[in-house]
Amino acid sequence: MNNLMKSSIFSVAVHKYAMFIALIFIAVLFQILTDGVLLAPMNISKLVMQNSYILILAIGMLPCILTGDIDLSVGSVVAVIGAIAGTMIVVKGMPVGLAVVLCLIFGLLIGAWQGFWIAFMRVPAFIVTLAGMLLFRGMTMVILDGNTLSPFPESYQFVAQKFLVDIPLFASFPYSTILVGVLVAAICVYLEWHSYRQKIAYGVPTGSRGIIFVKLALIAFISLFAAYWFTKFKGLPLILILLAFLIAMYSFLCSKTVLGRHVYALGGNERATLLSGIKTKWVRFIVFVNMGLMAAVAGLVFSARLNCAAPSAGLMFELDAIAACYIGGASATGGVGTIVGAIVGGLVMGVLNNGMSIMGIGIDWQQMIKGLVLLLAVAFDIYNQSKK
């Protein structure tokens, strides 16, 4: 019986951490193939900054996939938000803070527009968001009239391009990034230990105490080493702080709140969820409103990163965000997936892109390899589901 329990814990652990292991393997492989360039401090910072908007979109996309839906319009929403921001700030001279708030409100309205058709009019999400992809791409072209707007003021670019040491308050602290690393390590270790104690209290299998201590030591080491590694370039990128906040907030919302449980229930069995008294239409509506907000955030970050608003912005972003969720363990049928998994999936795609680019592999081969990775990830998920 004890051996059976250990085997069950091991199989769950393998399934839970499979993509973490895959990410480490891919990173080490490309570190060797690129002669140490991939994991150089400067390249790590650029990797985070270049993939930040995809990771933000993946955070918003996961709840959509959890409900069994999908959003094909996010790339076009990124483009139209950039176009609106460019028009308000570059052309009209509007204050950056006001323009950012208005762009976020417009993102919420876009999400509400699509959520209305999907949740209350029962039009399939695939059709609504496909229409949205065409609608908002066309709107971008109309707003920009085929032109590229630039440059944005430095204050607009701040979060997307600057580092912790660029904040005046923190500039006087030479070890500010290390202090953040210590804080993150302490919080993560506390949360993991608290989760372990709760599992023991409820009689959930947890494995030996030695394993949890090893896990806590690894968490602390990775947090502190990452902070040290960032100090070897320019310090902690500000966009990473925003990402960490979004990951923590949405992980909590999805796993610890009533709304999050309703989202998982809706994707697991919509009819049973409806019969249990949950307002499934409103849950689905809120999910797409949130997706509109996250697409607006990604649009602001992307335009700030490029320092321009362009008609071609956001092309294929929706596919990268969807792929990140599926590679990170989200089920194609809904009801399964985590925010952290989606982030890991996005990082796998980012490391693949960056590593192959450093090696000089053409975009044609890159697309083929990414497509194969996505197919294998979904096949792995289906295989695991069939064994349960």
pLDDT tens column, 217-239: 988 998 899 999 998 888 889 99
pLDDT band at residue 364 using 50, 70 and 90 as cut-offs: confident
- Among all chains, which residue has been given the structure tokens 């096949």? 379
Asked if residue 77 lies in contact with residue 292, where contact means CB atoms within 8 angstroms, the answer is yes
* Structural tokens at position 129: 């968001």
Looking at residue 38, the DSSP 8-state letter turns out to be: T
Same domain assignment for residues 183 and 141? no
Tell me: cis bond preceding 205? Omega within 30 of 0 counts: no
User: Which residue, among 149, 143, 178, has the nearest Cα to 164 in the 3D structure?
Assistant: 178
Whole-model pTM over 0.75: yes
How many Cα atoms occupy the beta-carbon half-sphere of 127 within 13 Å?
A: 7
Same domain assignment for residues 257 and 179? no
pLDDT band at residue 90 using 50, 70 and 90 as cut-offs: very high
| DSSP element (H, E) containing 16 | helix 2-33
Same domain assignment for residues 231 and 259? no
Length of the chain in residues, anyone? 388
Tell me if 290 is assigned to some domain.
Answer: yes
Tell me if 115 is assigned to some domain.
Answer: yes
Residue 1 has what pLDDT? 42
Residue 23 has what pLDDT? 87
Residue 115 has pLDDT above 70, yes or no: yes
Residue 173 has what pLDDT? 62
Same domain assignment for residues 68 and 137? yes
Q: Which of 236, 259, 278 is the last residue of a domain?
A: 236
Q: How far apart are CA 79 and CA 91, in angstroms?
A: 17
Same domain assignment for residues 157 and 181? no
Sequence-ordered alpha helix ranges (H) in 67-121:
74-86, 96-115
Q: Which of 203, 236, 269 is the last residue of a domain?
A: 236
Residue 253 has what pLDDT? 93
Q: How far apart are CA 328 and CA 370, in angstroms?
A: 14
pLDDT band at residue 385 using 50, 70 and 90 as cut-offs: low
Average pLDDT of span 64-83: 95
Asked if residue 129 lies in contact with residue 294, where contact means CB atoms within 8 angstroms, the answer is no
Same domain assignment for residues 147 and 183? no
Same domain assignment for residues 318 and 229? no
Q: What SS3 state is found at 206? A: coil
Same domain assignment for residues 33 and 128? yes
pLDDT band at residue 14 using 50, 70 and 90 as cut-offs: low
Residue 4 has what pLDDT? 45
Residue 371 has what pLDDT? 85
Tell me if 66 is assigned to some domain.
Answer: yes
Q: Which of 211, 236, 261 is the last residue of a domain?
A: 236
- Give me the amino acid identity at 359: M
* Structural tokens at position 84: 């609106």
Same domain assignment for residues 288 and 261? yes
pLDDT band at residue 5 using 50, 70 and 90 as cut-offs: very low
Same domain assignment for residues 157 and 25? yes
Asked if residue 344 lies in contact with residue 20, where contact means CB atoms within 8 angstroms, the answer is yes
User: Which residue, among 322, 342, 300, 359, has the nearest Cα to 43 in the 3D structure?
Assistant: 359
Number of structural domains in the chain: 2
* Structural tokens at position 258: 């009533």
Domain that holds residue 204: 168-236
Higher pLDDT residue, 299 or 22?
A: 299
Residue 316 has pLDDT above 60, yes or no: yes
Q: How far apart are CA 106 and CA 84, in angstroms?
A: 9
Same domain assignment for residues 182 and 274? no
We report the CATH number of the domain holding residue 286 as 1.10.3470
Higher pLDDT residue, 159 or 386?
A: 159
Q: What SS3 state is found at 94? A: coil
pLDDT digits (tens, 9 = 90+) for 34-45: 998 999 999 999
Same domain assignment for residues 131 and 177? no
Q: How far apart are CA 239 and CA 304, in angstroms?
A: 11
